[in-house]
Amino acid sequence: MMRVAIHALATARPSFQMTRAEWLEIAARISPPEVDRGVLARLAERSGIDTRWCAAFESENACFYDAGGIPGTAQRMALWSRAARAMALDASTQAIARAGVDATAITHVVTASCTGFESPGIDAFLIESLGLARDARRLNLGFMGCHAAVNALAAARAIAGSKPQATVLVCCAEVCSAHFHHTARVDQLIANTLFADGAAAAIVAGDAVAGVELAATHTTLIADTAGEMRWTIGDRGFEMTLGARVPAVLEREVGAWVRGALDGEGLSVSDIGGWAIHPGGPRVIDAVTAALALDARAGDPSRAVLRECGNMSSATLLFILERLQRAEVPRPWVGLAFGPGLAGEMLLVR
């Protein structure tokens, strides 16, 4: 397969940014009376998050969780549609400009989101809004979870690697704030505390020298862990189930998998210059760095994105890759993300 590169990365967020203190006010408002406010404060403190962007609390959506009780799934999908489209257009416009390509040269659009559905979807919206060719091929990856960016980039790599003239727009857009819950369940309170909104886009194409090489992707489905993380559709939005064992499972399983994948690429852990570890939470970052016996500083880019933006599901990994690129961190880089299954996805960038 010919060399495939990421020619540009770009990110976008909603207009509403909230601090941890502002979140605690909101959390107290949307949680049942029986939830102790001290619990909410402790969860926020342990989250490692200082600020997040959330479309549910933008001025035009300010009453989303206040008016008429708990929003139904249809209301949440309407919020997702508005916010995901706006962020996807912003990130994609930036990525096209940074790559220096003409929008009409884009041959394929690969989109990913696990926080909403509609058809025609974001892929068709981007073709219309960006003025892409009407015959651009479309692929939407739905409901995969936090690791979907790797799957989207893997699809883009396969397309660009087999079609020399292909230019692929990849866009991940997530509106997690559409699914905050009025609940006393601890795992859902944690999800409320961790998740945020954001979108990221990449331009992927074959090239002999330009861009950062999208060298390989690897995947694993960890046995006997399907109940540890689930993302299901309920009558009152999408519902996250988070098992307490997730960090321990990752610390036990990730080391051998990643080392084996790197060995197949002729690399070892010590060869990797930068790590983009999806920040499912501080304990996930700690578990992965421990599993690979990495210096704790290897998780700093992930912790910084978590601290500044929260967990934006599939978009988050691209935020971290953009940070590595801006900081001119020496390659190769490894991206790691985990989602329902438990599934692990790995990206190698040279």
Q: What is the pLDDT of residues 95-148, one digit of tens each?
A: 999 999 999 999 999 999 999 999 999 999 999 999 999 999 999 999 999 999
Closest CA to 349 of 287, 284, 265, 279: 265
Pick among 3.40.50.720, 3.40.47.10, 3.40.640.10, 3.40.50.150: CATH of 4-206: 3.40.47.10
Is the model's pLDDT at 67 over the cut of 60?
Answer: no
- Taking the C-alpha atoms of residue 291 and residue 258, their distance in angstroms, rounded to an integer, is 9
**What pLDDT, in 10s, does the model give residues 244-262?**
889 999 999 999 999 999 9
- % of residues, the chain, pLDDT over 90: 85
Q: What angle do CA 226, 232, 236 make, to 5 degrees?
A: 150
User: Do the Cβ atoms of 88 and 129 come closer than 8 Å?
Assistant: no
Residues of the chain with CATH 3.40.47.10: 4-206, 212-349
DSSP string, 271-326: G--EEEE--SSHHHHHHHHHHTT--GGGGHHHHHHHHHH-B-GGGHHHHHHHHHHH
| Arithmetic mean of pLDDT over the chain | 94
Q: DSSP letters of 44-63? A: HHHTT-SEEE-GGGSGGGTT
> At residue 273, what is the residue type?
G
Q: Which pLDDT band holds residue 180 (cuts at 50, 70, 90)?
A: very high
Confidence of residue 344 (pLDDT cuts 50, 70, 90): very high
pTM, entire model: 0.96
Task: Give the pLDDT band of residue 240 (cuts 50, 70, 90).
Answer: confident
289-311, pLDDT tens digit by residue?
999 999 989 999 999 999 999 99
Question: Comparing 207 with 7, which gets the higher pLDDT?
Answer: 7
Tokens of 208: 């002999």
Cα atoms in the Cβ-side hemisphere of radius 13 Å centred on 238 = 24
Average pLDDT over residues 311-337: 97
Average pLDDT value for residue range 164-180: 96
pLDDT at 305: 98
Q: Environment class of residue 29 by beta-carbon count within 10 Å: exposed (0-12), middle (13-18) or buried (19+)?
A: exposed
pLDDT band, residue 68 (cuts 50/70/90): low
* Distance separating alpha carbons of residues 62 and 194, to the nearest angstrom: 20
Query: What local confidence, expressed as pLDDT, does residue 70 receive?
Result: 86
pLDDT beyond 90 at 282: yes
Residue pair 200/11 in contact by the 8 Å Cβ criterion? yes
How far is it, in rounded angstroms, from Cα 231 to Cα 237? 11
* Distance, CA of 92 to CA of 226 (rounded, Å): 34
Domain 212-349 annotated CATH 3.40.47.10:
yes
